Amino acid sequence: MSTSLLLLFIVVIGFIAYFAGRARSLALSGGKLSNLHSLPGYHGSYVAIWAMLPAALVLGAWLITAPVYIDGSTRATLPDTVQSQGPAAVQLALGQVKSVAGGLLRLSGEELAALESGAANLRATLASKGVALAGEGEPYMIAAAKHFNAMTATNLWLKSAVVLLIAIVGGIYAIRNVAARFRARNQVERVILGSLIVASSIAILTTVGIVASMLSEAGRFFTMVSPFEFFFGTVWDPRFAAAGSGGASGQFGLIPLLAGTLYIAFVAMLFAVPIGLFAAIYMAEYASPRLRSTAKPLLEVLAGIPTIVYGFFALVTVGPFLRDISAQLNGLVTGDYQNFIQAQSVLTAGIVMGIMLIPFVSSLSDDIITQVPRALRDGSLGLGATRSETVKKVILPAALPGIVGALLLTASRAVGETMIVVLAAGVAARMQINPFEPMTTVTVKIVNQLTGDLEFTSPQTLVAFALGITLFVITLGLNIYALYIVRKYREQYE
């Protein structure tokens, strides 16, 4: 019985259990529902839960453990000559045994007999059935494969029998519990509460997953490349070493990537902060409700546009525009029409990322500015200050911690942004301070190292996880600090 069919059976049993439980509680009520502690539906649900939940849990556990057990048992049947060659060889043999096992199922009795007596070639026979074998088959493999097939078959019917038995036994046990004063609702609600807790722990599990996966992969990377070389290296040159040459595996210096990331984020912030902040101040303090109700959503549209669209915008519009205008400028000044801004450059990526960040700065700052109490504003205006003086001398100082928090959140977005820089910043990892030249970022290199064929053993692949954990730590630090500031600030006026 396949797993999906088994699941279907469990659901069917659950349905039957639900109606059985309901019917029994109705019968026990003697026609008067108030005799029951819980509504009949809860009795039904209680029985259904007992029928389905333990069976499903056992099925899940079985699905995880059974293949491990079968592999172990099959591995033990392999001859000592293979066992002595180390775990890699055993694993290889096991894989072959499994494909032989798959092939044996397609053979007829005579062909099988021919194989066992050694009259027929294993590989050729299997190939004729459409099963490709990686190497030349060994005679011991047939025995091991037969063992594997027998185990698998046993496992299949044992699994079905045990799971269905548990479902039925659970249902019967629960039905016997149903009584007029039985607190079925409390039992059902306890299960629901349990599932709510499981759901909310997924958030924790995600974080644990991120940290654990990054740390373990980055840890493997640091066994090949020393952390000192990674964090303080100034050259990024992850050459893909020729197979077997070992040592010369390239240099993995983080500094040029980090410099590019911070530089581009800085240019973006330089562009986004004044525009976003002034827009927020105008909308909070000056704009008529009508202007506010049209301009604010329109600016927020910028935040809803996918970043790949910004990347494309940088690629076909901003980059070429900056390149051409620099050529014209250069021509006007020196007579030499040579562009001094590259199409892919820190400036291009910074400006386009800045456009993306405008709504983040403006929305967050707007919220914070409007939170400043009315009394402060009225006091300042009443003393004869103009609106701009009120903003500059009263509101901004009061809102400053919140705005700093907002800017930090925006900065963490700029650091983690990927698609814009992939298309607009270039791939050359170098350290320089000219904003008209291309630089590259941590995120670009993560994408570069992980697209295409990869094997999880080379430092060229694993370095992406070391980069990832660096990025995660930077953004996490910025976020935690920003949230801390924003939270602390909010409490002030409450």
Closest separation in Å from C-beta 282 to another protein: 3
**Cβ–Cβ under 8 Å, residues 491 and 421:** no
Residues belonging to the chain: 494
Closest separation in Å from C-beta 199 to another protein: 4
**Cβ–Cβ under 8 Å, residues 418 and 440:** no
Closest separation in Å from C-beta 252 to another protein: 16
Which residue matches tokens 């027929």?
120
Closest separation in Å from C-beta 18 to another protein: 17
Q: How far apart are the first and last CA of the chain?
A: 62
Question: 346-371 and 255-281 helices cross at what angle (nearest 10)?
Answer: 40
CA distance 30 to 2: 43
Closest separation in Å from C-beta 280 to another protein: 8
Closest separation in Å from C-beta 424 to another protein: 11
Closest separation in Å from C-beta 429 to another protein: 17
Q: How many CA atoms lie within 13 A of 346 on its CB side?
A: 24
CA distance 140 to 1: 30
**Cβ–Cβ under 8 Å, residues 253 and 332:** no
Closest separation in Å from C-beta 435 to another protein: 19
| CB nearer to another protein: pick between 107 and 277 | 277
**Cβ–Cβ under 8 Å, residues 159 and 59:** yes
| CB nearer to another protein: pick between 73 and 213 | 213
| CB nearer to another protein: pick between 165 and 291 | 291
| CB nearer to another protein: pick between 115 and 358 | 358
| CB nearer to another protein: pick between 12 and 198 | 198
Nearest to 265 by CA among 147, 73, 421, 141: 421
Q: How many CA atoms lie within 13 A of 401 on its CB side?
A: 15
Task: Write the CA distances from 64 to 8, 76, 109, 136, 151, integer angstroms.
Answer: 19, 20, 33, 31, 16
Nearest to 338 by CA among 321, 319, 323: 323
| CB nearer to another protein: pick between 90 and 210 | 210
| CB nearer to another protein: pick between 122 and 471 | 471
| CB nearer to another protein: pick between 6 and 420 | 420
